[in-house]
């Protein structure tokens, strides 16, 4: 039976706003320099919280991007989404009037959505007495799919439009869905990514209650320390990232710059525990091997693994076990790093900003480091190149990037250097 050649999907535009920068260039420059985005919390008075620091977006003023009416309608996670989508669209050099809008879509990821809006509205009701006075914007500001909706409205894209919600795997799932919709011919172009804005009282308080966050209040910049023996939890972050994915011939026809090819994606479930990963990394291994099969690649093709690497006591060793189980001896030839050591953990937006780091590693020939790595945990194989503390130059042909979420959700994407064949 004749099988048509699978449509190839490439990255033609990128954008981000996150704790290390308000553009992709600023972001990767700081990653390469090993800069930490952690600092005392400014969004609210955290003096009574166990954790009093986070990785917040710096130098952000909504008035520089939106008018007052728009700010009333947009939760912060939606603001971030619109900003990074604009950056990616501008970077892609797209003329919206020349796009078949029925074949253009938006697939967005967010693990929590408008948590701040939910918190403020409920708080206002509780403090204001028994008269239920809620804003008419409350529900539209809160729901996680609204960012995708606003992006599609802005550009008039009438193709696939929805939100993926799978905790910290959300934006990687969005990338994989976008990849497959384009492969299947259901879209030629999709804006995809994710955003999150949970550095607030319920976000920090809730994760504190789970004992998930680092409490290294005396030294925030050293708090996120994946693979280190002294790690004590993750550092919560915020922001967003976006990319324009296009079918290859669609991109070629308009002479687009191509950053990399999104070669494949893998997904799995741990089926183990509602928050803890499988201790042997079984689900993570299946996700990675699935991505490699989907990309039609060999284990030896992967030069760099951007890990989920959250700096939690149980998560880091499990992921390393999964990498070793998946790659065998080749694991010792790869670079491995955890960029969350610098950005903190952006929850549902983690996958896309790590995907952007992966793309830029290919583009720049430079692997960003795992900072704050003073002494590798004895549970972790000491022979692995965890890219400690300093970026390492390398001709990066392909990167595998992991994200895992509460509920046992695993999602892996692979980017490779674009070759005109």
Name the residues annotated as catalytic.
168, 308, 345
> Measuring CA to CA, which residue among 356, 367, 357, 354 is closest to residue 396?
367
C-alpha of 330 from chain center = 26
Helices (H), 1-100: 24-33, 68-73, 76-92
> What does the alpha-carbon distance between residue 249 and residue 4 come to, in Å, rounded to a whole number?
15
Positive or negative CA dihedral for 97, 99, 100, 105?
Answer: negative
Residue 406: DSSP 8-state = T
C-alpha of 408 from chain center = 17
Question: Which two structure tokens, joined as six digits, stand for 196?
Answer: 């999150």
State phi, psi for 325 to the nearest 5 degrees: -65, -35
Would you say how long the chain is, in residues? 421
> What does the alpha-carbon distance between residue 182 and residue 188 come to, in Å, rounded to a whole number?
6
């Amino acid at each position: 039976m004749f099988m048509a050649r699978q449509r190839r999907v490439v990255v033609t535009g990128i954008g981000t706003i996150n704790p290390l920068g308000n553009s992709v260039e600023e972001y990767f420059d700081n990653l390469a320099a090993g800069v930490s985005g952690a600092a005392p919390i400014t969004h609210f008075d955290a003096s009574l919280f166990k954790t009093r620091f986070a990785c917040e977006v710096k130098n952000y003023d909504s008035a520089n991007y939106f008018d007052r009416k728009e700010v009333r309608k947009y939760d912060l996670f939606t603001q971030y989404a619109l900003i990074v989508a604009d950056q990616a669209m501008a970077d892609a050099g797209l003329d919206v009037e020349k796009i078949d809008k029925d074949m253009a879509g938006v697939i967005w990821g967010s693990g929590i959505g408008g948590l701040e809006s939910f918190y403020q509205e409920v708080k206002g009701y509780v403090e204001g007495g028994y008269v239920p006075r809620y804003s008419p914007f409350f529900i539209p500001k809160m729901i996680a799919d609204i960012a995708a909706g606003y992006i599609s409205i802005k550009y008039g894209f009438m193709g696939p439009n929805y939100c993926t919600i799978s905790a910290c795997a959300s934006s990687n799932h969005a990338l994989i869905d976008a990849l497959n919709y384009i492969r299947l011919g259901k879209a030629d172009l999709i804006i995809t990514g994710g955003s999150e804005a949970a550095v607030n009282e319920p976000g920090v308080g809730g994760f504190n209650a789970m004992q998930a966050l680092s409490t290294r209040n005396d030294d925030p910049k050293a708090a996120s320390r994946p693979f280190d023996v002294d790690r004590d939890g993750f550092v919560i972050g915020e922001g967003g990232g976006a990319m324009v994915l296009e079918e290859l011939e669609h991109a070629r026809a308009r002479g687009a710059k191509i950053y990399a090819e999104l070669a494949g994606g893998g997904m799995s479930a741990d089926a183990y525990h509602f928050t803890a990963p499988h201790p042997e990394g079984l689900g993570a291994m299946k996700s990675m091997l699935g991505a490699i099969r989907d990309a039609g690649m060999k284990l030896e093709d992967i030069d760099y693994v951007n890990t989920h690497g959250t700096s939690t006591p149980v998560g880091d060793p499990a992921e390393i076990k999964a990498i070793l189980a998946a790659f065998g001896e080749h694991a010792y030839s790869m670079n491995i790093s955890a960029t969350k050591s610098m950005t903190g953990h952006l929850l549902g937006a983690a996958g896309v900003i790590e995907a952007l780091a992966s793309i830029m590693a290919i583009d720049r020939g430079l692997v960003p480091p795992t900072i704050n790595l003073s002494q590798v945990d004895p549970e972790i194989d000491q022979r692995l190149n965890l890219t400690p503390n300093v970026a390492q130059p390398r001709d990066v042909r392909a990167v595998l990037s992991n994200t895992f979420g509460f509920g046992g959700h695993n999602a892996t994407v692979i980017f490779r250097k674009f070759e005109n064949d």
